[in-house]
Amino acid sequence: MRTNISTTKLAGFGTTIFAEMSELAARTGSINLGQGFPDTDGPSEVLEAAVEAIRRGVNQYPPGLGDPDLRQAIVEHQRRWYGIELDVDNEVLVTAGATEALAGALLGMLDTGDEVVLFEPIYDSYRAGIALAGATPVPVLLTPQADGRWHFDVSDLSAAVTDRTKILLLNTPHNPTGKVFDRSELEAIAQVAIDHDLIVVTDEVYEHLVFDGGEHIPLATLPGMFERTLTISSGGKTFHTTGWKIGWMTGPAELVKAAKLAKQFLTYVNGAPFQPATAVGLRLGDDYFDGLVSDLQVARDRLADGLERAGFTTYRPDASYFVTVDVRSIGFTGDATDFCRMLPELAGVVAVPASAFYMRPEHGSHLVRFACCKRLDVIDAAVEQLVAAFAQPADGGAMR
């Protein structure tokens, strides 16, 4: 039997940290604040629409571009929230979640030797998609500041671009940090893209989960950017249906076509009855979207306050499902991955080491990500256990 079975393109990639930590939670009976999935169902209108679709026979392959009503709902959504006008037949493609949309975009547009500039920490599937395309990721560091915000240096972004750079990959709102790139930052990113004639792929799955009255600004809405930007989102986070895997990409026809060329050989199509149900979700009233972010903000604050009471330096996110902490603040001097593997025994809780999101792990070796997209009683129980395990008197010693 030959030994070189696995592709060298994925050398260094193993089981995802999410699978490892979720398995650890199940094995130890710990509270799982690692993987970012909600533990409550989505809106009843959306769930019932899926059941109704199954009953009326929507159980075979949907059209290659996606269910026509869902594509129309995506067009309406982009117009309603951002004033973006789209051609439903050429500028919208339904995918198996945002992950397949990203894979299709990367595989469909990158050649061996191309480079992709992206912000670090990096959601793990980005690097895998880039590797499969034979391209090279080039990270630009996001650094946490004393005020809890994450900053990047525009000069670092400019310096990361070379004559081999083809794509700039942007995730806003950002996982794992919860950073929402503001208008001035987006303008700087747009200028780099225009100056170097880059294609931009944006991952915006947390677009409706922005806290404190903040604003999500799609990069495609900035001057000169629609024609070079492929925008990706999904219904999983917005409608608490992460298992349905209904995503989409929108943008100029030539970019959608390039991504579709690869996407059609991945799943081809998926989730027939879930597509019209997701269309129902996209057309829900403002009260649903307002309530969604309001409820999650309460959960964010409940978890962040509790982590601070346990002694952690906490970076409260502007959006998304996640709260990041610095484990050095409780006296832990080792690596965050070791901390997370010890955490079930120490506190009966599971989290994810942020070093898994770094190409240069030393930048995240002290950071841990907790998920706040859980019921308040679950968060309260986890906080109680974390406070009991880590809250120290003023003269408490260091943990190792």
30-48 confidence digits (pLDDT tens): 999 998 889 999 999 999 9
Q: What is the pLDDT of residue 35?
A: 86
**pLDDT at 398 exceeding the cut of 60:** no
**pLDDT at 128 exceeding the cut of 70:** yes
Pairing assessment for the beta strands 313-315 and 322-326 based on DSSP bridges:
antiparallel
273-315 confidence digits (pLDDT tens): 999 999 999 999 999 999 999 999 999 999 999 999 999 999 9
Q: What is the pLDDT of residue 400?
A: 46
Topology, domain 44-284? Aspartate Aminotransferase; domain 2 (3.40.640)
177-191 confidence digits (pLDDT tens): 999 999 999 999 999
149-173 confidence digits (pLDDT tens): 999 999 999 999 999 999 999 999 9
The backbone torsions φ and ψ at residue 221, rounded to the nearest 5 degrees and listed phi first, read: -85, -10
Give the model's confidence band at 399: pLDDT under 50 very low, under 70 low, under 90 confident, else very high.
low
Mean pLDDT of 221-240: 98
Domain boundaries, given as residue ranges, for the chain: 8-36+287-390, 44-284
Question: In this structure, which long-range contacts are made by residues 350-355, counting pairs with CB atoms below 8 Å and at least 24 apart in sequence?
Answer: 350/21, 350/22, 350/24, 350/25, 350/28, 350/30, 350/31, 350/32, 350/33, 350/34, 351/21, 351/33, 351/34, 352/17, 352/18, 352/21, 352/34, 352/35, 352/176, 353/17, 354/121, 354/176, 354/324
Average per-residue pLDDT for the chain: 95
Cα end-to-end span (Å), the chain:
44
| Residue 43, beta-bridge partner list | none
Residues 360 and 120: beta-carbon distance below 8 Å: yes
Vertex 396 angle, CA 395 and 399, to 5°: 150
48-100 confidence digits (pLDDT tens): 999 999 999 999 999 999 999 999 999 999 999 999 999 999 999 999 999 99
Q: What is the pLDDT of residue 393?
A: 58
Q: What is the pLDDT of residue 2?
A: 76
Percent of the chain whose pLDDT exceeds 70: 98
**pLDDT at 322 exceeding the cut of 70:** yes
Q: DSSP letter at 63? A: P
Q: What is the pLDDT of residue 12?
A: 82
The pTM of the full predicted model, rounded to 2 decimals, is 0.95
Residues 86 and 107: beta-carbon distance below 8 Å: no
CATH class of 8-36+287-390: alpha beta
Q: DSSP letter at 210? A: B
**pLDDT at 395 exceeding the cut of 60:** no
2-26 confidence digits (pLDDT tens): 777 888 888 888 778 888 888 999 9
Closest C-alpha to 83, from 221, 241, 289: 221
Give the model's confidence band at 148: pLDDT under 50 very low, under 70 low, under 90 confident, else very high.
confident
Q: Is 29 left (phi over 0), alpha (psi -120 to 50) or beta?
A: left
- CA atoms of 254 and 258, how far apart (whole Å): 6
- CA atoms of 368 and 356, how far apart (whole Å): 10
The backbone torsions φ and ψ at residue 322, rounded to the nearest 5 degrees and listed phi first, read: -130, 145
